[in-house]
Amino acid sequence: MTINTLNILAFAGSLRSESFNRKALQIAKQIVSELNANVIELDLKTLNLPMLDEDLRAYGFPESVKKLKDAIASADVLLIATPEYNHSIPGILKNAIDWASDITNPFDGKVAAIFGASNGLNGTLRAQLHLRQVLAALNVELVPQPQVFIRTAQSAFMPDGSLVD
């Protein structure tokens, strides 16, 4: 039996340079790098997506949107780290998912593992519930367990980016 290399696309829904979710993503990347996997990280800050505006389609998708769609289409598995803003998904992440799924849906049939870090005591619990709902709408299979909630993130990481606990 041939076991193909998994293509894993990893991204975080934060633009902040010291983002806890970017740090959590690096740890997740280290874990999956032990698998037979090709891991690519997509930096939403560098991608610099515009806000979704359906009028823009008249000119064709912006290059950044094409890149995002291609990156998702090329992946077998998605690793998504989400912050929590006002008990939900940050706009930056929702905007990326909405752009990526506009007209065509490259998420269709992908598998995703989601996790998150936040300053609150619930560690993105509520944001992750919303993210599960949004990804389910796009026919993404969500890894059911383990669920990873990194709470009080301001004290959860060592200076080198590893987790205290």
Ligand X SMILES: Cc1cc2nc3c(=O)[nH]c(=O)nc-3n(C[C@H](O)[C@H](O)[C@H](O)COP(=O)(O)O)c2cc1C
Tokens standing for residue 86:
């006002």
Among 2, 4, 86, 145, binds ligand X (CB under 6 A): 86
The span from the CA of 37 to the CA of 1, in Å, is 17
By rule CB under 6 A, what string of x and - marks binding of each residue 6-25 to ligand X?
A: --------x-x--xxx----
User: Rg of the Cα trace of the chain?
Assistant: 16
Residue 145 Cβ vs ligand X, minimum distance, rounded to whole Å: 22
The pairing of strands 148-150 and 77-81 is: unpaired
Residues touching ligand X, count (CB under 6 A) = 14
The span from the CA of 134 to the CA of 82, in Å, is 13
Residue 127 Cβ vs ligand X, minimum distance, rounded to whole Å: 7
The span from the CA of 106 to the CA of 67, in Å, is 12
**Per CB under 6 A, 84 contacts ligand X:** yes
Q: Are 68 and 47 in contact (CB under 8 A)?
A: yes
Q: Is 62 or 120 the residue whose CB approaches ligand X more closely?
A: 120
Residue 124 Cβ vs ligand X, minimum distance, rounded to whole Å: 7
**Per CB under 6 A, 119 contacts ligand X:** yes
Residues that bind ligand X (CB under 6 A): 14, 16, 19-21, 83-87, 118-120, 153
